[in-house]
Structure 1
Amino acid sequence: MVLKHYDVIVIGSGPGGEGAAIKAAKAGKSVALIEKHKIGGNCTHWGTIPSKSLRHAMQRLVEFKSNPLFEHVSHRLNIQYPDLLHSAASVIDRQVRMRQGFYDRNHVDIIYGHARFIDQNIIEVIEEDGSVGKQYRGDSFVIATGSRPYRPRDVDFSHPRVCDSDTILQLKQTPNSITIYGAGVIGCEYASIFRGLGVKVNLINTREKLLAFLDDEIIDALAYHLRERGIIIRHNEEYSSVEATDESVTLHLKSGKAIRSDLLLWANGRTGNSQNMGLEEIGIAPNRRGQLDVNEKYQTALPHIYAVGDIVGYPSLASAAYDQGRFAGTELVDGFCEYHLVANIPTGIYTAPEISSVGKTEKELTEEKVPYEVGHSFFRSLARAQITGQTVGMLKILFHRDTLAILGIHCFGAEASEIIHIGQAVMAQKGEANSVLYFANTTFNYPTMAEAYRVAALNGLNRL
């Protein structure tokens, strides 16, 4: 039997798969993209897009209810969680149609089903009903299958009161209370969303502090504002069992505590989608987290098979996954790629308030014995923040005391994930161009949130 042949076969249509497929197609390669579920992958349907759309809708609702102009009508609003999901659905639909257009214009064939390797160059596609479909031959492959929520075997996720970050998007009503187990990025974001709807929130953290990879001052600010909004945070806890009934769900902790609520959201860890792909049989062994090891070119143990995105682990960001896919596509087409992921990848955490950072934290610089100084700008002092009413937050610049080079930027507050890119651009410059003096001496539009950079720079230089 003659199999249909492609130069490149990409498995998964999330950001990583999209970046690789479009790059290879634009280079003139024949490309097929295999997608198990829907165009856009986990990012569009269960991860970044729906959660950030939910958060945005919640934030607008909170702003409306707290605006004195509308206080005479705001009490009449009865917005529920399914209403927020409905608003997110329209965004998802536009994203899918847009991405489908990318593939159509670039002549990428879309094949639906689960991909499984028969040998190093042949895959078969298993249909949704479990039947085996066609086989395809490829010269190169890019695995971009993403990840899924980790599910312990002793927790019954079939129970309607037990959810993970995928099934929470199918919730049909707003709970009166929710317990979120896991205080990582997903847990903190959903804690903000549900608290914005007036839901009682218990946030259970298995570690000593929230989001320990952030700067300590930002962590403290986040914890303070979450608690101020009424979220109960419990640190250093570990579950022993989950007891779900028709009326409620109780999370039993090893410390002896029992947390009862209407709903449990399990947000503790993710697993790479590498199962049942025939990878072990061709010499590619996933690790215990289901992730694949790759080299600096994103090649697996087999040089013609690449892997990008969440399936390779860190940094597990949609933004980085797209670039990884694009770089892997360049490698397999040209044999080399002069570009790589930037050294300082910005993080964006869509809690309320928002968090974004790039570069070193104070703790890291102290451990590395780097002489640094700190410049602060508090949003409450900025005219733009006062105009918009978004006065909670700050911008923090860390810079070298001698060279004045920018070492890290940390932002907490409204539009933090947008504000951070100004600092990222200056940090990326070489030599004297990377200097806190740029912010002190340049002219920013007024009033803007970007002006925080000038205020923080002058604040830090004054400390010298």
Structure 2
Amino acid sequence: MDISSGWDLVVLGSGPAGEAAAMQAAKGGLRVAMVDRDDQMGGNCTHWGTIPSKALRHQVRQVVRSQRNPLLRGLISPRQVRWQDLIQRSREVVDSQVQVRTDFYVRNRVRLFNGQGRIESAGEVRVDDQAGRQWSLRTRNILIATGSRPYRPADVDFDHPRIYDSDTILEMKHTPRNMIVYGAGVIGCEYSCLFTGLGIRVDLVNNRQHLLDFLDAEISDALSYHLRDQGATIRHSEEYTHIEADDDGVTLVLRSGKRLRADALMWSNGRSGNTQNIGLENLGLKPNSRGQLAVDERYQTEVAGVYAVGDVIGWPSLASASYDQGRFCAQGIVEGGPVKQVTDVPTGIYTIPGISSVGRTEQELTEARVPYEVGQAFFKNLARAQITGERVGMLKILFHRETLEVLGIHCFGYQAMEIVHVGQAVMRQPAPNNTLHYFVDTTFNYPTMAEGYRVAAINGMNRVSR
């Protein structure tokens, strides 16, 4: 065994949380080692999650847009596009990201250990690398950033060639005519939009009463309408009893007695933290039923000097938030002071059309008895949306009736994930710069989608001045 001593921080997992922590610690003068079981950097986010799924979305969206453009309509049919060709293009994006991320480690002099990492104690991590060597890394601090994986119930046969999860769907070698998506969370809704965009009929099975019920109700309703309009059948309040799979397809049997038949099934019902086989028992740490670890305000576990960030600690389980958690945690290790918390995280859902929001919803404000009002801008009325042909969607500003303070931003449609940051920046300003007056008094480029803020703010002002 090769013994490598003198490390200040050993990070397990090179996803957004681990990468950000390693870079921040290295810039703070710490000696950092990164351990990842794969031979390429980036973690699940780069290889199986955020990057490939968003690359797929961009390509499918281009196909959908071509059908709306009179000059391009008829040149290509969605049914002519093969799933495996889309996957190949997304892999090119992944490869580019891997190169970028690997360069970060080289420039910041972070040592990479590619292999299975196992915590032996609070001060030692063992690595069995891909060359057959065994390393013992002696360290002052350990950071667990091993991410998450799709939840797989024991009674579902994921070895069957027609049953997939959000990882293995990227290896599907055929383009099904119809698809069952079980689980209508963020991932299930995003992939349902990809499939319907390719002309694949989708049965989206939701075990709740509404889609994405953490969203503003109006936005959730808009997503439901457009999914159905694109060819999806949404089945709410349904639970499965079992799955029957054969050479020709898959049958999903529901508790309600329904039997859904399709060429393939994608299971998308939650995720589990990657905390198995990393030596947590040697620390006396026990993850919860979803494989997640509990941490304090410094992202430290119950064991001093052992930290955890990202999907492995649960909410909000977003790449953006994970990156900041890793950065803030490492900054706390370097400086020893209070650790900044990740708050006001914008929601970005890459459906077609997209959804993004920050702040409180109408439901939350109503329950809290906050006197609020709504300002709206419908994309069909914006010049930029008319030019691009992206007329579906709206921007909604929730604000206090008396102070005009902006309380929430909710957007559905073209560039929603980009537009939301304008409102987010305003909401974080101290009073009185966090009110509707900012949008009314600021000159926006014309024609742009961001101009929707001025339109929505004026709409809101009109409501309270009646």
* TM-score normalised to structure 1 length: 0.97
Question: Who is 1:48 aligned against?
Answer: 50
Q: Compute the displacement of 1:62 (Å).
A: 1.3
For 2:187, the equivalent position in structure 1 comes to 186
Which residue of 2 is the match for residue 440 of structure 1? 440
- Check conservation: 2:150, 2:272, Cα contact below 8 A: yes
**1:319-334 → structure 2 map (5 Å cutoff):** 319-334=320-335
> What is the CA-CA distance between 1:73 and the residue it aligns to?
2.6
C-alpha contact (below 8 Å) 2:2/2:134 kept by paired residues: no
Pair 139,211 (structure 1): closer, same or farther in 2 beyond 3 Å: same
1:44-87 Cα shifts (integer Å, max 9, x gaps): 00000000000000001111233111235335982211111111
Q: Distance in 2 between matches of 1:272 and 1:75?
A: 40
The within-5 A match list for 1:138-217 is 138-217=139-218
Q: 2:97 corresponds to which residue? A: 95
- Asked if residue 462 in structure 1 is aligned to residue 457 in structure 2, the reply is no
Q: Report if aligned partners of 2:272, 2:291 keep a CA contact under 8 Å in 1.
A: yes
Alpha-carbon distance in 2 for matches of 1:338, 1:312 = 16
| Distance (whole Å) between structure 2 residues aligned to residue 41 and residue 76 of structure 1 | 31
Q: Which residue of the partner structure matches residue 363 of structure 1?
A: 363
1:155 match: secondary structure: coil
| CA–CA distance in structure 1, aligned partners of residues 439 and 217 of structure 2 | 24
The residue type equivalent to 2:314 in the other structure is G
State the distance in 2 between where 1:78 and 1:134 align.
50
Partner of 1:352: 352
The 3-state SS of whatever aligns with 2:196 is helix
Partner deviation per Cα, 1:195-233 (whole Å, 9 max, x = no partner):
101101010001010001000000011101111111000
Return closer, same or farther for 1:338/1:279 CA change in 2, 3 Å cut-off.
Answer: closer
CA contact (8 A) 1:124 1:132 kept: no
CA displacement at 1:127 relative to structure 2: 4.4
Q: Tell me the distance in 2 between the aligned counterparts of 1:75 and 1:182.
A: 28
1:40-439 matched pairs, under 5 angstroms: 40-71=42-73, 73-75=75-77, 78-127=80-129, 133-337=134-338, 339-341=340-342, 343-439=343-439
3-state SS of 1:426 partner: helix
Q: Deviation at 1:2? A: 7.4
1:396, distance to aligned residue in structure 2 (A): 0.3
**SS at 2:303 equivalent:** coil
One-letter amino acid of the counterpart of residue 127, structure 2: V
Asked if 2 retains the 8 angstrom alpha-carbon contact of 1:142 and 1:308, the reply is: yes
1:3 positional shift: 2.2
What is the DSSP-based 3-state SS (H/G/I as helix, E as strand, rest coil) of the residue aligned with 1:340?
A: coil
Contact persistence 1:293–1:312 (CA under 8 A)? yes
Task: Quote the Cα distance in structure 1 between the aligned partners of 2:75 and 2:288.
Answer: 55
How far does residue 133 in structure 1 lie from its aligned partner after superposition? 2.0
| CA separation of 1:357 and 1:32: change in aligned 2, threshold 3 A | same
Q: Residues 356-408 of structure 1, C-alpha deviation per residue, up to 9 Å, x if partnerless?
A: 00000000000011110001100000000000000000000000011110000
Amino acid at match of 1:365: L
CA contact (8 A) 1:330 1:337 kept: no
3-state DSSP of counterpart to 1:68: coil
* Matching residue's letter, 1:149: P
CA distance in 2, matches of 1:152, 1:234: 21
CA 1:194 to 1:206, structure 2 compared with 1: closer, same or farther past 3 Å? Answer: same
Distance 2:398 2:92 in 1: 40
The whole-number CA distance in structure 2 between the counterparts of 1:93 and 1:361 is 38
State the partner residue of 2:34: 33
How far residue 7 of structure 1 moved from its aligned partner, in angstroms, is 1.1
Letter in 2 for 1:368: A
> Does structure 2 retain, via aligned residues, the 8 Å contact 1:327–1:337?
no
* Equivalent-residue separation in structure 2 for 1:65 and 1:223 (angstroms): 21
SS in 2 for 1:69: coil
CA distance in 1, matches of 2:321, 2:369: 29
Q: 1:23 to 1:337 in 2, by over 3 A?
A: farther
* Mapped contact 1:286–1:293 kept (Cα < 8 A): yes
| Range with greater deviation from structure 2 (120-129 or 21-30) | 120-129
The gaps in structure 2 that reach 5 residues or longer are none
Q: Distance in 1 between matches of 2:156 and 2:133?
A: 32
In structure 2, do the counterparts of structure 1 residues 338 and 146 end up closer, same or farther at CA, with 3 Å as the change threshold?
closer
**Distance in 1, Cα, partners of 2:355 & 2:78:** 32
Does the 8 A contact of 1:355 with 1:416 survive in 2?
yes
How far the C-alpha of 1:419 sits from its partner, in A, is 0.2
Q: Is the 8 A contact 1:371 1:401 kept in 2?
A: yes
Q: Deviations over 1:169-202 (max 9, x none)?
A: 0011111110000000000000000110110101
- The separation in 2 between residues aligned to 1:21 and 1:292, in whole angstroms, is 20
Rounded Cα–Cα distance in structure 2 between residues aligned with 1:432 and 1:285: 47
CA–CA separation in structure 2 for the residues paired with 1:77 and 1:234 = 24
- Residue pair 2:273, 2:311 contacting (<8 A) in 1 also: yes
Deviates further, 63-72 or 243-252: 63-72
Q: Which shifted more, 112-121 or 54-63?
A: 112-121
User: TM-score normalized by structure 2?
Assistant: 0.97
Q: Which amino acid aligns with 2:169?
A: I
Q: What secondary structure is seen at the aligned counterpart in 1 of 2:300?
A: coil
CA distance in 1, matches of 2:130, 2:395: 49
Contact 2:68–2:389 (8 Å) recurs in 1? no
Tell me the number of residue pairs that the alignment of Structure 1 and Structure 2 aligns.
462
2:103 is paired with a residue whose SS is helix
Contact 2:78-2:199 within 8 A present in 1 as well:
no
Once the two structures are superposed, residues 64-123 of structure 1 have per-residue CA deviations (whole angstroms, 9 ceiling, x without a partner) of: 233111235335982211111111111100100000000001111111112111122111
d(CA) in 2 for partners of 1:284, 1:151 = 23
- Secondary structure of 1:255's match? coil
Which amino acid in structure 2 is aligned with residue 354 of structure 1?
G
What are the Cα deviations for residues 104-151 of structure 1, in whole angstroms up to 9, with x where unaligned?
A: 01111111112111122111123469x772221111111100000000
